[in-house]
Amino acid sequence: MPQQALTANVPQRYRRLFAPAGTGAFTAGSLVARLPFAMFSVSAVVMIAGSRGSYALAGAVTATGLAATALVAPWTARLVDRHGQARIAVPAAALAALGALSLVLCVRLDAPAWTLFASYAATAPAPNVGGMARARWAHLHRDDPGALHTANAFEQALDELCFMTGPALGALLCAALFPEAGTLIGTALLVAGTLLFTAQRSTEPPPAPRTAGARSPLRTPRMPALLAVFLATGAVFGALEVTTLAYVAGPAAGLVLGLQAGGSCAAGLLYGLLPPASALPRRLASCLAAMTVLMALPLLTARTGSTALLAGGLLLAGAATAPTMVTGMALVQRLTPRGSLTEGMTLAVTAILGGIAVGSAAAGWCAEHLAAGAGFAVPTLAAALALAAAVCLAVRNPTARG
């Protein structure tokens, strides 16, 4: 397609997503509600480390919350699919807000350390608003594969925008106002965004009560292999972030990481203009092959010692992230029974979170025991593992259609 024609199609392709009434409002609500998820970790670390003088304690508390979310989130998503988004997401967000407020009070009152772990773990019921938004697009454009592909790309771009701005916003609020500001404002955004999102009832997919013989998406053929892809991909994200923070000193680290997310955001919007894949497993393998090659760029540029070259390498490496995630989520939608769509996408997010934890730990060990920048080998290896899993999936299921 000529570049001029591609550019001309940009407004039309994305404008048609918002033709149904209520789509703009639920998109705004989902953006507000998912931004806190990118704020909470850094806000909690700043708040706890500043109060207790221990980054080890702060890291352990946030890791516990991550583990709790990985366990609870699929159950919350299952309830959303069975009983409806508004009926479950609002009380789930309220429970998560209570956990966040409890964390602030425990830090403020110098409560015992175990209360910090319990409070942060209590935020685990927070609804996966990004998954619910994708379920709405899948419901609205179920008969239009092209529009659904563009919607998935748009949602991935929103995710990247949140992860590009959320950590910086959380850190800025804690520094400019008071240490608890990031957590408190993030909690308010979560509740307000969820209320705005769920108020748009006309776009909400109908509940799908569990029927006899229904099975979890986890037991769907090929889903475990796809979750292995997401697990390895999550390791790419976690290792890349930790290694960059360890390699780049001072405030420049946030800017450098923002370039990686910005590259992914731009690539996601452009990817949404392409036709949907005819065979999703093959497209996923192709995207991961590109990611494996591009993830070598940070490793190579780090060896030069130039932060500017590293920033350029991360910007290019980010270009493969969004297409990979868009294709992977489209395959989740393909493999998951329609009545369990939110649960299926939440399982994918859970696998990514698990991979982030593994990748972060591996990169942290490299930063501690090896040469500076050596940790950039971890995302390259993790991308190669994700590619291997995707190739196995494509070989076993080469004709899966999008």
Q: How far is CA 150 from CA 164, 191, 202, 244, 327, in A?
A: 21, 28, 21, 31, 11
CA distance 337 to 133: 17
Element (H, E) at 224: helix 223-247
pLDDT surpasses 80 at 168:
no
Q: The tokens 């110098």 sit on which residue?
A: 110
**How many Cβ atoms from other residues are within 10 Å of residue 120's Cβ?**
28
Measured in Å, how far apart are the chain's first and last C-alpha atoms? 21
Tell me what percent of the residues of the chain surpass a pLDDT of 90. Answer: 15
CATH class of 22-205: mainly alpha
> Which of the pair, 35 or 267, is modelled with greater confidence?
35
- pLDDT, tens digit (0-9, with 9 covering 90-100), for 124-162: 888 888 888 888 888 888 777 778 888 888 887 888 788
Longest dimension (CA), the chain: 63
Q: Could you tell me the two tokens for 116?
A: 């910090």
Q: Which of 189, 201, 160, 167 is nearest to 33 (CA)?
A: 189
Asked whether residue 372 carries a pLDDT value surpassing 90, the answer given is: no
The span from the CA of 93 to the CA of 163, in Å, is 20
Question: Taking residues 45-59, what's their average pLDDT?
Answer: 79
Report how far residue 37's alpha carbon sits from residue 114's, in angstroms, rounded to the nearest whole number. 22
Q: What is the pLDDT of residue 99?
A: 93
- The reported pLDDT for the residue numbered 281 is 83
| Per-chain mean pLDDT for the chain | 81
Q: Kindly write down the DSSP assignment for every residue of 270-303, as one continuous string.
A: HHTTSPPPSSHHHHHHHHHHHHHHHTHHHHHHHT
Please compute the mean of the pLDDT values over residues 101-114 and round it to a whole number.
91
Quick one: average pLDDT of 13-36?
84
What pLDDT, on a 0 to 100 scale, did the predictor assign at position 173? 84
Q: What is the pLDDT of residues 306-355, one digit of tens each?
A: 888 988 888 888 888 888 888 888 888 788 776 677 777 788 888 888 88
Look at residue 269 and tell me whether its pLDDT is greater than 70.
yes
Q: Which of 166-180, 243-257, 289-303 has the lowest mean pLDDT?
A: 243-257
Q: Please give the pLDDT value at position 397.
A: 60
Phi then psi for 79, rounded to 5 degrees? -65, -35
Task: Express the helix, strand and coil content of the chain in percent, nearest 5 each.
Answer: 80, 0, 20
Instruction: Using the predicted structure, report yes or no on whether residue 255 has a pLDDT greater than 50.
Output: yes
More confident of the two residues 158 and 274: 158
Band (395; pLDDT cuts 50, 70, 90): confident
pLDDT in the model for residue 19: 77
C-alpha distances in angstroms, 101 versus 11, 176, 177, 389? 42, 20, 17, 41
How far is residue 310's CA from residue 255's CA, in Å, rounded to a whole number? Answer: 12
Task: Compute the distance between CA of residue 294 and CA of residue 267 in angstroms, rounded to an integer.
Answer: 13
What does the block give as tokens for 23? 């789509």
> Domain locations in the chain?
22-205, 217-402
Rg (CA), the chain: 20
> What pLDDT does residue 322 have?
83
CATH architecture, domain 217-402: Up-down Bundle (1.20)
**Percent of the chain having pLDDT more than 70?**
90
pTM, entire model: 0.76
What is the structure's pLDDT at 259? Answer: 77
| 2 pLDDT tier (thresholds 50, 70, 90) | very low
Question: Does this chain's domain 22-205 share its CATH topology with 217-402?
Answer: yes
